[in-house]
């Protein structure tokens, strides 16, 4: 698809400066853009690129003053960054615009499929499954018995949803993520072996949740593992059984949350965080990357770091000193020697 | 499926107190149970819920004394927790009762398929593969050439088993787990590039092993990567080439074990543990979450923490002091000042 | 397949000592080899096994002196290790020799498929995809719209490649790896929810890159996430959006690299390393397992450890002292007491 500067200016309610017939078919960063692509300038730090870019069109703020001649056609708008975001989203919507049911796929006769859905080839829709309108299930995905998907859900290729799990509206799950595998529950027996504890609960992903690729969310032993509305989970994250993640909480990659822990709302976690089981974490808590949380956090809105965790400022100070520990040890040794001498006197 | 209190009491050899015709179709925790569900009370801590629960049936110990009136029908048994576990397992068995061969699937003519198996749609059974009786292979799974599965094996949707790997009886592998991918072996060459070292071994999962979702177990360079009988491995765990994991060892999520390391029996690992390569770990060792093991452990049955690891008690004491390190530094500085003064005198 | 000692000697240009008609069908380590298998002896440390092995054939150096009688047929060559490597690779090539297009698979009419390719059943080749000659796509894989694969690429079962991604020649991707899922980008809004930022870039894996099982490589927000030529990435690694990994860099399992970070060439990372976002890491840097990199590294070829990172030697010294921190604290306390006494005098 190609769009002319004139067409784009109309969409954005902007004004064209330069050749209004020049056409673009891609979006790019101003420092990387080539001929045939459209870019934007919002951050003054990047202004230098405006004069050297190969982009065919650049969106700029109405207020942008030109210090040198510009090769590209300009489209002037009130807020270049917002305008570009609109185009970015439109571009993505077109890219991901799939519909129809590809063959072969497996749809059990008892499954209920909404309208305007996409079901990719080799996807499996089990007995009793419900798929809401406008949902997209990419190829090679699996939806187990009686699982439900709301409206406008996207499961990218190879997502696995175990039986009985429930996904709300607008949920996005990336490739390879597993929703509803068994919680890790085993009872030790007298002979040293372990007996599996049946995991009969499910997983609920509320509306607007996004789950990253190859992330795993285990089903509850009983009841539900719940990811609340609007929470965003990155790749390779482990959510154990009976965990609850609060609304609008954001969890970066490779973090692990142990069983039955309850995370509040608007919590932010860096990557590779680890949280022990059966804890509760107050709303608005912030964990720096690699934090190890081993006790409940009751005070809201605090920042934490280190493992075991401590207030973020303490963490910074303590780990900075860690490197000087051998030197500190030596200083104490010197003091001990001197004291010994002094005491002799 | 619905069961009446009378039917359940018969199964559990219990006695009904209340309406024996009331029916249930779900199992639930007593604090969450709704109408139509069955729960249990074993832990006195939860007794309060017995008087307020909406559960239709509650299983209680014969010895349970009632402090207030109870709405639910009670079933009295010797041991309420065990009785409930029996139902839990029965429930799960019914839920997971799949059999037959769904189409389309790919079964190579040279594969040998046992009796009463389930093979889901879009699953691939390669040349020379053997699948034992009563095994269940959920949709979208892959079993490479000459791999073997024992009896009563369950591969959930999307499991990948590379060629030549061997799974024993009753093995359970969760979605997305990869068994037998190449070990990470490369030889540096003179020009700075790496040459791949062929990984021609396999992976053996002995009887009763369970592997969590998206866990990866690499094939041996030569010989076998082995997970011994009854070991349980959680989600997103990495087991490198030529590792051996001992019988009844339990490994929590996101742990990684490097190449050629040999883990003993009945070892317990918390989440996110890391173990270096070419080590051996004694039977019964216990690693707290995040422990980093960088040397072999010879003494059996000891607890370890921290990274690099130290005895668990030392770990607790050392990391508790870590936060006070800046303060300790200041105290030493004060001492140095005083000593300087004293020496002047 | 069986080969006689005579046939193998011919291939390796070696000389047979013993029964030249004995045949083998497997390769094994000398300490584990059974009848019917071929092994080698290169490291003198293993010489004892030469006299006890059940291997039918052992490849040894021309210079090997026999201290005792040997049961196996020997093949003498200039360099036993190299000779064995040649066989190892030949063995692997035969094992992985797949071709043809299995049915059912999904190949969009607009896809361009090269010559001598293997496309396994249930694999999905989307619109506009290009697959180079001799590439092998194992069953249950997915290649999204307009993605391109070079020549001699291997995607093992269940690999997911999102739209627009580009893989060079000889790239190997193991099962469950996800190439091109959305970067983790969300803009906070006034009401506390997050708005998804469209991720319209792609992922480029240059020639000779290998990616481990269940590893995730996110697409760029705009532009490309790039893994440069010859880089090797282990299992369960997270590569965030807009990251660049330099040529011949090696990354061990469960490492995570945050967004927009640029890793140099020939960098070596141990397992479970974490690297913060928007950093640059100099060529030839070495990170020990678990290192946590939170600032850019400008000096080339240095070794680092600890989290936050410090020079590797400092790391070893500091963490060794960590365990003695409670004792150090006590020593300072003792000094404080003595000083107090001394000052009284």
Cβ distance C176 to B292 less than 8 Å, yes or no, reads no
CA distance B329 to chain C (A): 10
Cβ distance A212 to C214 less than 8 Å, yes or no, reads no
For chain B, which chains pass the contact test of at least 3 CB pairs under 8 Å? A, C
Least CB–CB distance from B238: residue in C140, C236, C322: C236
CA distances from C173 to A155, A270, B194, C214 (A): 22, 27, 16, 9
Pairwise CA distance, residues A74 & A58, whole Å: 5
Average pLDDT, chain B: 95
For an interface test with B, give the residue of A105, A106, A269 to mutate (most B CBs within 10 A).
A106
Q: Single out the catalytic residue among A108, A174, A241, A278.
A: A241
pLDDT band, residue B342 (cuts 50/70/90):
confident
Residues ≥6 apart with Cβ < 8 Å to C335: A332, A335, A336, A339, B335
Q: What's the whole-number mean pLDDT along residues B188-202?
A: 93
Pairwise CA distance, residues A210 & A238, whole Å: 14
C254 touches chain A (CB under 8 A): yes
- Of C166, C174, C173, C126, the C-alpha closest to C150 is C166
In chain C, what residues touch A29 (CB-CB under 8 Å)? 222-223
CB contact residues (below 8 A), chain B span 278-317, against chain C: 292, 294, 306-308, 310, 314-315, 317
Cβ distance C27 to B222 less than 8 Å, yes or no, reads yes
Cβ(B25)–Cβ(B57) under 8 Å? Answer: no
For the record, the structure tokens of C65 come out as 């002196």
CB atoms within 10 A of CB B19: 14
Predicted pLDDT of residue C26: 87
For chain C, which chains pass the contact test of at least 3 CB pairs under 8 Å? A, B
Residues ≥6 apart with Cβ < 8 Å to B190: none
Pairwise CA distance, residues B279 & B295, whole Å: 6
Percent of chain A whose predicted confidence (pLDDT) is above 90: 90
CB contact residues (below 8 A), chain A span 120-139, against chain B: 122, 124
Cβ(B159)–Cβ(B173) under 8 Å? Answer: yes
Predicted pLDDT of residue C261: 98
C250 touches chain B (CB under 8 A): yes
Pairwise CA distance, residues C318 & B325, whole Å: 12
DSSP string of B37-81, one letter each residue? EEEEE-SGGGHHHHTT---SEEEEETTPPPSS---SEEEEES-HH
Q: How many CB pairs under 8 A join B and C?
A: 181
Least CB–CB distance from C194: residue in A27, A212, A232: A232
Q: What is the pLDDT of residues A238-257, one digit of tens each?
A: 999 999 999 999 999 999 99
pLDDT band, residue A26 (cuts 50/70/90):
confident
Residue C228 confidence (pLDDT) above 90 = yes
Least CB–CB distance from C339: residue in B145, B315, B338: B338
CA distance C232 to chain A (A): 19
Predicted pLDDT of residue C341: 85
Q: Catalytic amino acids of B?
A: 241
Secondary structure (H, E, C), chain A: CCEEHHHHHHHHCCEEECCCCCEECEECCCCCCCCCEEEEECCHHHHHHHCCCCCCEEEEECCCCCCCCCCCEEEEECCHHHHHHHHHHHHHHHHCCCCEECCCCEECCCCEECCCCEECCCCEECCCCEECCCCEECCCCEECCCCEECCCCEECCCCEECCCCEECCCCEECCCCEEEECCCCEEECCCCCEEECCCCCEEEECCCCEECCCCEEECCCCCEEEECCCCEECCCCEECCCCEECCCCEECCCCEECCCCEECCCCEECCCCEECCCCEECCCCEECCCCEECCCECCCCCEEECCCCEEHHHHHHHHHHHCCHHHHHHHHHHHHHHHHHHHHC
Q: What is the pLDDT of residues C273-324, one digit of tens each?
A: 999 999 999 999 999 999 999 999 999 999 999 999 999 999 999 999 999 9
Q: What is the pLDDT of residues B52-105, one digit of tens each?
A: 999 999 999 999 999 999 999 999 999 999 899 889 888 888 888 899 999 999
Give domain limits for chain C: 3-95, 100-316
CB contact residues (below 8 A), chain A span 57-116, against chain B: 104, 106
Cβ(C141)–Cβ(A121) under 8 Å? Answer: no
For the record, the structure tokens of C7 come out as 């046939």
Class of domain C100-316: mainly beta
Q: What is the pLDDT of residues B215-233, one digit of tens each?
A: 999 999 999 999 999 999 9
Predicted pLDDT of residue C345: 65
User: Is the sign of the CA dihedral A220, A258, A207, B176 positive or negative?
Assistant: negative
Residue A345 confidence (pLDDT) above 90 = no
CA distance C292 to chain A (A): 8
Helix, strand, or coil here: B8?
helix
CB contact residues (below 8 A), chain C span 15-34, against chain B: 27-29, 32
- Report the DSSP beta bridge partners of residue C61: C77
Cβ distance C326 to B322 less than 8 Å, yes or no, reads no
Average pLDDT, chain C: 95
CA distance C324 to chain B (A): 7
Cβ distance A157 to C140 less than 8 Å, yes or no, reads no
Domain A3-95 grouped into CATH 3.50.50.60: no
Strands of C182-253 (E only): list them.
186-188, 194-196, 202-205, 210-211, 216-218, 224-227, 232-233, 238-239, 244-245, 250-251
CA contacts within 13 A on the Cβ side of C34? 3
Phi and psi torsions of B245, nearest 5°: -110, 125
Q: Catalytic amino acids of C?
A: 241
ipTM, two decimals, is 0.93
DSSP class of B302? -
Domains C3-95 and C100-316 share a fold: no
Predicted pLDDT of residue C22: 96
Residues ≥6 apart with Cβ < 8 Å to B176: A158, A160, A176, A178, A214, A216, B158, B159, B213, B214, C158, C176, C214
Burial label for C326, CB within 10 Å (0-12, 13-18, 19+), is middle
Which residue has tokens 């049961």?
Answer: C71
CB contact residues (below 8 A), chain A span 199-228, against chain C: 208, 210, 212-214
Cβ distance A235 to C274 less than 8 Å, yes or no, reads no
pLDDT band, residue B345 (cuts 50/70/90):
low
Residue B2 confidence (pLDDT) above 90 = no
How many whole angstroms from its chain centre is CA C226? 16
Least CB–CB distance from C318: residue in A121, A266, A323: A323
Residue B336 confidence (pLDDT) above 70 = yes
Cβ distance A158 to C181 less than 8 Å, yes or no, reads no
CA distance C114 to chain A (A): 22
Q: What is the pLDDT of residues A155-196, one digit of tens each?
A: 999 999 999 999 999 999 999 999 999 999 999 999 999 999
Cβ distance A343 to C339 less than 8 Å, yes or no, reads no
For chain A, which chains pass the contact test of at least 3 CB pairs under 8 Å? B, C
Pairwise CA distance, residues C164 & C168, whole Å: 13
Cβ distance A323 to C314 less than 8 Å, yes or no, reads yes
Q: What is the pLDDT of residues B148-180, one digit of tens each?
A: 999 999 999 999 999 999 999 999 999 999 999
Cβ distance B104 to C104 less than 8 Å, yes or no, reads yes
Q: Which residue of A has its CA nearest to C195?
A: A230
């Amino acid at each position: 698809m190609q769009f002319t500067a004139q067409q784009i200016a109309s969409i954005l309610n902007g004004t064209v400066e330069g050749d209004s017939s020049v056409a673009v078919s891609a979006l790019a960063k101003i420092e990387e853009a080539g001929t045939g692509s459209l870019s934007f300038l919002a951050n003054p730090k990047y202004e230098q690129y405006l004069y050297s870019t190969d982009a065919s069109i650049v969106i700029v703020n109405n207020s942008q003053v030109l210090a040198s001649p510009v090769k590209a056609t300009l489209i002037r708008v009130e807020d270049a960054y917002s305008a570009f975001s609109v185009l970015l989203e439109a571009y993505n919507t077109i890219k991901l615009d799939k519909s129809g049911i590809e063959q072969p796929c497996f749809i059990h006769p008892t499954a209920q499929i909404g309208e305007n859905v996409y079901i990719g080839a080799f996807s499996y829709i089990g007995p009793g499954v419900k798929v809401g309108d406008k949902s997209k299930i990419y190829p090679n995905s699996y939806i187990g018995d009686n699982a439900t998907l709301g409206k406008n859900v996207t499961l990218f290729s190879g997502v696995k949803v175990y039986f009985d799990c429930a996904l709300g509206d607008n949920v996005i799950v990336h490739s390879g993520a597993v929703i509803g595998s068994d919680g890790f529950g085993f009872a030790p027996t007298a002979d040293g072996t372990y007996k599996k504890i049946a995991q009969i609960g499910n997983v609920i992903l509320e509306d607007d949740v996004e789950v990253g690729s190859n992330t795993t969310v285990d089903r509850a032993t009983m009841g539900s593992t719940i990811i609340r509305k609007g929470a965003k989970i990155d790749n390779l994250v482990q959510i154990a059984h009976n965990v609850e993640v609060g609304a609008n909480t954001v969890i970066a990659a490779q973090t692990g949350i142990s069983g039955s822990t309850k995370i509040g709302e608007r919590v932010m976690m860096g990557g590779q965080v680890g949280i022990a089981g059966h804890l509760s974490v107050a709303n608005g808590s912030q964990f720096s990357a690699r934090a190890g949380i081993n006790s409940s956090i009751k005070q809201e809105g605090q920042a934490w770091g280190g493992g075991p965790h401590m207030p973020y400022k303490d963490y910074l100070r303590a780990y900075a000193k860690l490197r000087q520990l051998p030197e500190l040890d030596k200083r104490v040794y010197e003091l001990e020697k001197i004291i010994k001498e002094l005491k002799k006197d």
